Chains A and B, each alone.
Chain A
Amino acid sequence: MLTFTIRRLITSIPTLLFISIVIFALLKLAPGDPMAQVPLTVPPEVKQKMREALGLGAPAYVQYFKWLNQFFIVEPQFLIDWMTRDSALFGWLPDTQFSMMYDPELQKLVPQQRTISYQTRSPIMDIVIQRIPQTLWVVGLAYVVGILIALPIGIYSAYRHYSVFDQAGTFITMVGFSIPPFFTGPLLIVIFSVSLGWLPSIYDTTHVVENWASFKYQLSQMILPVMVLALQTTAQISRYMRASMLDNLNQDYVRTARAKGLKENTVVMVHVLRNSMIPVITVIALGVPSIFGGAIITENVFGVNGIGQLLITALFANDTPMVMTITFIFAIMIVAFNLIADVLYGVLDPRIRYD
């Protein structure tokens, strides 16, 4: 398993490079223009100058290699410099200067150029890092909540197959899944924010949790988006959990386990559950990167402004470096979590071998 992991880690580098080329080609092929959101009152010649200032005049391969260099070489250097300078963990190390470059004209060290967004003209990584707290608070938490609700529902529904609980669970999760968040979001706002006035409808990303009162506020502004998102996760995972449990509950080994006098609890929660986890692990592992991808519609409805909102505004503004960077980080997470899922398969079922 270790050699498999190492081999997969090594092969993932060419995979990721290939993915980056495909994404870049796709973005270049897609119609669109970073100047689309500039009002029509700005004349075309000025727009042309602005495009040139953004570096759009350069050939596509130059733009690609520039991005690649910035993403893989320049950005990590800035990260190391930041860690040795400001972070609590490595701040005791001597400050490094990897990100600086000697400029012969000015005769001094200047910072290298980082990946710059077309919209904000600022380093993309800083904005991405800025978005992580609210994304994790809302989308990440919703995912955890969703899984925590889904697993028991799935297990119990399968164990009490066709009971009232199972039927109700099926009904609610399927209806929940088939109603899109662009409807559930506003519906919850109309009920809880407008009619009852209990919860805020717009998420405050500048809110700092420092005491009990501010924590309560944080909770109140998270409830609605977390509810909307968790509904989707719960529906999906509980369906797979239930189906997989049902398959296993009728297997011969379950009868054997019961026959040899194991407690029902042990039979279900240890033997059956473990053997039923493979599809569930797959779905969960596939879902983790999408936390990072954010939840575009829900973030938009509640003004959460996480990474999903960053991506969609970048897409609408045709901010290629921003879209490229976010989707590529997303790709790294996908490759990583699919690898983790593959390793977990081997842990759950030792018969699975990759070598």
Chain B
Amino acid sequence: MTDISTEIDPYAALQDKEPAKPPRNQWLDVWDQFKKHKGAVFGGGFLVFITLAVLLGPYIWNVDPQKLDIRNKDVRPLWTALWNSDAKTLWHRPFGTDNLGRDLLAQMIAGGRASMAVGWTAMLLSLSIGTAVGVAAGFFKRLDGLLMRMTDLFLSLPILPLLLVAVTLFRQPLRANFGPEGGMFILIVVVVGLTSWMQTARIVRGEVLALKEREFILAARSIGTSSRAIIMRHLLPNVISPIMVSATLGLAVAIITESALSFLGVGFPSDFPTWGKMLADAVPRMEQFPERVLLPGIAISLTVLGVNYLGDGLRDALDPRIRGR
């Protein structure tokens, strides 16, 4: 019965030991945690896939999405032939065609390009405005009143007249400088971005108001941390999860708002496809040609789901309390 446990070297215990292995980079930990999140990997993977598809798609499938072929209109996608041998299908129109004979695969690719570009840009724009306004209003008391009244103002502006005014004032100069589609793109992105940041701002401000009274902010302040550092290092990481939710919802809102704008006649030129517009145009014929609503509908849903899972994964990976559990 030897008492090994009592044999502790008191000096060794007091010494500073070298860590067994060198400290790992924080971002490697983040990446490890991220990889464990199956949804996030799937979501991220899907987003990469869809981005590549809409970017490189036109080079592989080089059919003009605006080309009419009235003789081959209403062609069904290839897979309908599986259960309906009478369906009109064509090998060189794998997804079928619409009521004017435009190739649906090419439209999906071109539409995806526009929708993704509008969705991401408008979402990022609204997110950055919303976060900046929210943090500034929550953190700096002097700005709060002014910024929040401005938020109230933007919330109460009716979007349709706003758009009509923007179109009237800016379409001609933008068209002259960026072409009809480029100009409209800028206009839509800016208008969607400018009219959707308010919710994010209010949410971020609410969180910041609560956070800035917490002890760790007091501690940071007492050691002389600058406001800028407090915001960047202590506040923003703690409001990341509502921001992520806003981002996910914001992407969907931007894609759908774009389609509503085309519907009202203030969006892209009518023969310029986007997912939202393809979906809206196909609704009256959804019983005869379900694929025309399903294809863009699924594309939008999967993109939004992808962003959602990616956001979930990122949030988990960035939160040191969850990481490593």
Contacts and interface: CB of A to CB of B under 8 A. Distances in A.
A179 B297 contact: yes
Tell me the dominant secondary structure on chain B's binding face.
helix
B156 A327 contact: yes
Contact of B286 (A30, A190, A315, A351): A190
Contacts of B244: 243
Given A30-B165, A179-B300, A351 B210 contact: yes
A236 interface: yes
Nearest to A25: B165
B148 interface: yes
B210 A239 contact: no
Nearest to A353: B213
Given A15-B152, A183-B279, A335-B152, A174 B165 contact: no
Contact of A282 (B203, B214, B305): B203
Contacts of B305: 171, 174-175, 178
Interface in B257-307: 259-260, 263, 276, 279-280, 283-284, 286-287, 293, 297, 300-301, 303-305
A152 interface: no
Interface stretch (A59-67, A69-77, A244-252): A244-252
A123 interface: no
Nearest to A8: B145
A11 interface: yes
Contact of A286 (B164, B202, B297, B315): B202
Contacts of A244: 241-242
A330 B206 contact: no
A330 B279 CA distance: 30
A47 B200 CA distance: 45
- The CB with the most chain A CB atoms within 10 A, among B149, B206, B276, is that of B206
A282 B206 contact: yes
- The A interface, classified by DSSP as helix, strand, loop or mixed, is helix
Interface residues of B, number: 63
Contact of B203 (A183, A186, A279): A279
Interface string A328-355: 1011001100100100010001011110
Contacts of A282: 199, 202-203, 206
A315 to B, nearest CB: 5
Contacts of B23: none
Given A30-B161, A282-B206, 18 more contacts: A15-B149, A26-B157, A29-B169, A30-B168, A175-B304, A178-B304, A180-B260, A183-B293, A236-B249, A283-B203, A289-B155, A327-B157, A331-B156, A334-B155, A335-B156, A345-B210, A349-B210, A352-B209
Interface of A: 11, 15, 18-19, 22-23, 26-27, 29-32, 167, 170-171, 174-175, 177-180, 182-183, 186-187, 190, 235-236, 239-240, 243-244, 246-247, 250-251, 278-279, 281-283, 286, 289, 297, 311-312, 315, 323, 327-328, 330-331, 334-335, 338, 341, 345, 349, 351-354
